[in-house]
């Protein structure tokens, strides 16, 4: 019996070792493939530089997207020159930030294709970077998971097809946090991406690779996705403009994550694809290019609503609601300052600003948000880590989900006094732990979906009562020190609210962190001066000079109005 037990234990140990070794080999192969792609692109760029040594690289990289498209359309710049200029810069940026997963060698084939075309699309010759999980034919969509390393996409996603139809050239895929469920940017396969302005800081997530690449100057236009702030948080952390549209406005994409479409999986809080760029006009041009007949034909589930240029270009005064805190997770002083300064600037420009208070944010976060994503106690999410290595930044959430249902209830009861006394629990707060064990029946799930619809109706009613065109509000920032986002999941209330509501929302940088902000941060007490407030304070300390942004929001299907307010905010902040 003893020999049998020892033999069984040895067999289990060997089996585990073999499984781990197989994972390591897969990760090594993925990294080797990436490195070979980088070397290939570097060689191609070098050949181009030798052929045309007089290229004005800095002049090309400094052109805004709208001006660059004009130069390409008129022929004063060639798509070839622009592509290789951005490839060279992207190589430089990824060496500093580790933002790229793969270069796309087919970009040269796309280049040759558009050079032969008679008709030039709205994005003719524009190099575009793509977030990892968006399908590109023949390439991996990993979501940072080892199990996804052996299955290349069989076809381009609808969005990529439309980009190519409009003359864009997808040239690189960018890094993401493992499983996409984090607003840091790290995974066991490709490692950690850092902020181009401060390598101790995170670029945000889950579109963190996009944020780092664009902010570093290595891409002029990128496509990200957002199911809790994953476009807006990297835009805030990296000083970019980013738009999360109404979820169904653009065709989303299949993802290995949960083995379903991340933007239409069975949840009442859908994700959305959207553009990220250096200015608002770039976002508007991208939306105009994507909302075309090609998109509507390829996917008839996308409402055939072309971009309304008249709304975006209007100069009529706006009636804008505003708030600088949602009273759930008070943000650092610089973020509230940004809202108040922007409010005053909008008022001085002739717009009407009206105080607005979002209803029941605690209810949204503790009930609607957590119960949506962990309706099964987190089992579906845990399944994606089967046979995988869990990234350290995700271990608090993963360990919490692994607790049995009864254990979660008992732990919630035990931790409640600690929460009240301000003593830090080991991972999430007791409310978070309790919320993970819910929705025990189909009826309970239906009731939960109904509660979200009721809340949306309540929110829209309050909006209509004030006759608002749009809302100005804060966004989480400035950039966190790496490692902190995984410890402060519920700090994303400022962005998550508009995923629950499915409203279009965008981020615009308006300022930078000052020495005065840093001094005021020392006095920050947050909501309760509790461990969570202290942790947020630690996360954002040392951010002098980093970007500070605000968030603009409109009602569903009114992306053009959201962009209109964003443009107004951008113009006023630049004038200041």
Residues 141, 186, 202, 206: which is the catalytic one?
A: 206
Question: What's the CA gap between 229 and 269, in Å, rounded?
Answer: 12
| Those residues with Cβ within 8 angstroms of residue 95's Cβ, 6 or more apart along the chain or in another chain | none
Question: ∠ at Cα 420 (415, 423), nearest 5°?
Answer: 65
Could you list the residues known to form a binding site, using ranges: 180, 206, 227-230
| Those residues with Cβ within 8 angstroms of residue 336's Cβ, 6 or more apart along the chain or in another chain | 324, 325, 474
Question: What's the CA gap between 467 and 107, in Å, rounded?
Answer: 47
Question: What's the CA gap between 190 and 206, in Å, rounded?
Answer: 14
Written as six digits, the tokens of 487 are 């410890």
Residues 230, 393, 427, 493: which is the catalytic one?
A: 230
Cis-peptide, bond into residue 206, ω within 30° of zero:
yes
Could you list the residues known to form a binding site for substrate, using ranges: 180, 206, 227-230
Residues 545/333, Cβ–Cβ less than 8 Å: no
Q: Tell me if residue 76 is catalytic.
A: no
Q: Tell me if residue 282 is catalytic.
A: no
Query: What is the secondary structure of 353-405 as a DSSP string?
Result: EEE---S-HHHIIIIIIHHHHTTTTTHHHHHTTTTSPPPGGGHHHHHHHHS-H
Least Cα distance to 334 among 550, 548, 532, 570 occurs for: 548
CA 547 from centre of chain: 16
The DSSP letter of residue 7 is H
Q: Tell me if residue 157 is catalytic.
A: no
Residues 89, 131, 244, 288: which is the catalytic one?
A: 131
Catalytic annotation, residues = 131, 206, 230
């Amino acid at each position: 019996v003893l020999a049998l037990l020892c033999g069984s234990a040895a067999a289990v140990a060997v089996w585990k070792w073999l499984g781990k070794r197989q994972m390591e080999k897969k990760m090594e192969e993925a990294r080797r493939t990436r490195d070979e792609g980088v070397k290939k692109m570097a060689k191609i760029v070098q050949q181009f530089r030798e052929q045309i040594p007089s290229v004005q690289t800095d002049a090309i990289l400094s052109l805004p997207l709208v001006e660059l498209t004009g130069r390409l359309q008129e022929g004063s710049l060639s798509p070839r020159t622009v592509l290789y200029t951005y490839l060279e810069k992207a190589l430089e940026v990824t060496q500093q930030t580790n933002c790229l997963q793969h270069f796309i060698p087919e970009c040269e084939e796309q280049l040759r294709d558009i050079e032969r075309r008679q008709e030039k699309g709205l994005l003719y010759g524009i190099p575009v970077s793509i977030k990892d999980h968006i399908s590109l034919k023949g390439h991996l969509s990993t979501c940072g998971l080892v199990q996804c390393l052996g299955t290349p996409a069989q076809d381009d996603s609808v969005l990529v097809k439309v980009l190519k139809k409009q003359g864009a050239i997808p040239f690189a895929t960018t890094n993401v946090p493992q499983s996409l469920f984090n607003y840091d940017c790290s995974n066991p396969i490709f490692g950690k991406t850092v902020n181009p302005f401060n390598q101790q800081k995170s670029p945000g997530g889950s579109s963190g690779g996009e944020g780092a690449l664009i902010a570093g100057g290595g891409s002029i236009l990128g496509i990200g996705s957002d199911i809790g702030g994953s476009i807006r948080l990297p835009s805030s952390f990296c000083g970019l403009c980013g738009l999360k549209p109404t979820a169904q406005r653009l065709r989303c994409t299949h993802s290995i994550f949960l083995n379903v479409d991340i933007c239409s999986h069975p949840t009442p809080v859908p994700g959305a694809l959207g553009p990220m760029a250096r200015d608002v006009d770039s976002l508007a041009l991208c939306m105009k290019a994507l909302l075309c007949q090609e998109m509507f034909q390829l996917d008839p589930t996308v409402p055939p609503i072309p971009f309304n240029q008249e709304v975006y270009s209007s100069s009529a005064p706006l009636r804008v609601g505003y708030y600088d805190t949602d009273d759930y997770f008070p943000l650092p002083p610089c973020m509230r300052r940004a809202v108040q300064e922007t409010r005053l600037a909008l008022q001085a420009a002739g717009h009407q600003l009206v105080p607005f208070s979002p209803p029941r944010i605690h209810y949204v976060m503790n009930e609607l948000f957590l119960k949506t994503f962990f309706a099964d106690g987190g089992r579906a999410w845990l399944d994606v880590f089967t046979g995988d290595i869990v990234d350290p930044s995700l271990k608090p959430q993963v360990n919490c989900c692994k607790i049995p249902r009864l254990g979660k209830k008992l732990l919630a009861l035990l931790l409640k006094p600690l929460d009240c006394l301000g003593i830090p629990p080991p991972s999430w707060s007791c409310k978070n732990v309790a919320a993970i064990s819910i929705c025990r029946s189909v009826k309970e799930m239906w009731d939960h979906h109904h509660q979200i619809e009721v809340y949306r109706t309540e929110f829209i009613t309050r909006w209509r009562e004030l006759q608002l065109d749009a809302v100005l509000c804060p966004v989480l920032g400035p950039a966190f020190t790496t490692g902190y986002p995984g410890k402060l999941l519920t700090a994303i209330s400022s962005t998550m609210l508009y995923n629950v509501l499915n409203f279009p929302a965008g981020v615009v940088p308006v300022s930078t962190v000052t020495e005065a902000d840093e001094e005021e941060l020392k006095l920050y007490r947050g909501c309760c001066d509790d461990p969570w407030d202290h942790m947020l304070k630690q996360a954002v300390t040392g951010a002098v000079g980093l970007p500070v942004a605000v968030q603009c929001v409109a009602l569903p299907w009114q992306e053009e109005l959201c962009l209109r307010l964003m443009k107004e905010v951008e113009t006023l902040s630049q004038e200041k």
